[in-house]
């Protein structure tokens, strides 16, 4: 029964990422705030990592990162690599040092989303020597960061309910 719960839970997480990807990529479905739309898949991948062991968390980080890469149509694998590392370390931190609660989810979201959007700005804007990098940071990347951060508590509640409904015995 525990293996069946693990399979159903993995399928549910995958379906969640797919549905969130479709929601975030549908034009006009989510309102723009200061011209920015949230990256729901990114936040979901980070929250899923809080409820999984390190290896499955890293796998879901790769899947969420690939969805982000497909949606941003940038360098394929950039977000997958960043999210794989972040999700692995989030899972490790939660297992060893932190408790899983909404405050932890928001704090980890602040740091992990900041690292992800900071790396995105650094590699896709600053290092390419575009003009006015601070303007791009404050008018595009910062609103997207804050808008995505608003969804972390909601995604935490959804994934907490899913992990409690389908408990998996840890080894």
Q: How many residues does the chain have?
A: 171
**pLDDT value of residue 158:** 94
What's the pLDDT band for 3 if we cut at 50, 70, 90? confident
The answer to whether residue 43 is domain-embedded is: yes
The answer to whether residue 73 is domain-embedded is: yes
Q: What is the pLDDT of residues 36-93, one digit of tens each?
A: 889 999 999 999 999 999 999 999 999 999 999 888 767 788 899 999 999 999 999 9
**pLDDT value of residue 43:** 94
**pLDDT value of residue 44:** 95
How far apart (Å, rounded) are the C-alpha atoms in residues 96 and 21? 31
**pLDDT value of residue 149:** 95
Residue 47 tokens read as: 């929250």
| Helix, strand, coil fractions of the chain, as percent rounded to 5 | 75, 0, 25
Q: What is the pLDDT of residues 5-39, one digit of tens each?
A: 888 989 999 999 999 999 998 888 888 888 888 99
Q: What is the pLDDT of residues 125-167, one digit of tens each?
A: 888 878 888 888 888 889 999 999 999 999 999 999 998 887 7
First-to-last alpha carbon distance for the chain, in angstroms, is: 15
Domain span at residue 15? 2-165
The answer to whether residue 21 is domain-embedded is: yes
Count structural domains, the chain. Answer: 1
Distance of CA 53 to the CA centre of its chain: 16
Burial 85-95 (b: 16+ CB within 10 A, else e): ebbbbbbbebe
The answer to whether residue 170 is domain-embedded is: no
Whole-structure pTM value: 0.89
CB 159 within 8 A of CB 10: no
**pLDDT value of residue 89:** 95
**pLDDT value of residue 34:** 84
């Amino acid at each position: 029964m525990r293996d069946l719960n693990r399979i159903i839970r993995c399928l549910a997480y995958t379906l969640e990422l797919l549905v969130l990807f479709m929601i975030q990529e549908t034009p006009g479905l989510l309102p723009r705030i200061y011209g920015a739309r949230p990256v729901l898949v990114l936040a979901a991948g980070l929250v899923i990592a809080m409820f999984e062991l390190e290896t499955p968390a890293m796998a879901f980080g790769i899947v969420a990162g690939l969805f982000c890469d497909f949606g941003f149509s940038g360098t394929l694998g950039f977000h997958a690599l960043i999210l794989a590392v972040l999700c692995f370390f989030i899972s490790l931190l939660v297992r060893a040092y932190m408790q899983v609660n909404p405050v932890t989810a928001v704090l980890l979201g602040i740091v992990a989303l900041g690292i992800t959007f900071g790396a995105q700005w650094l590699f896709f804007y600053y290092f390419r020597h575009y003009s006015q990098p601070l303007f791009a940071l404050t008018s595009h990347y910062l609103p997207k960061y804050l808008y995505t951060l608003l969804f972390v508590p909601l995604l935490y509640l959804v994934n907490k309910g899913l992990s409690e409904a389908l408990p998996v015995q840890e080894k």
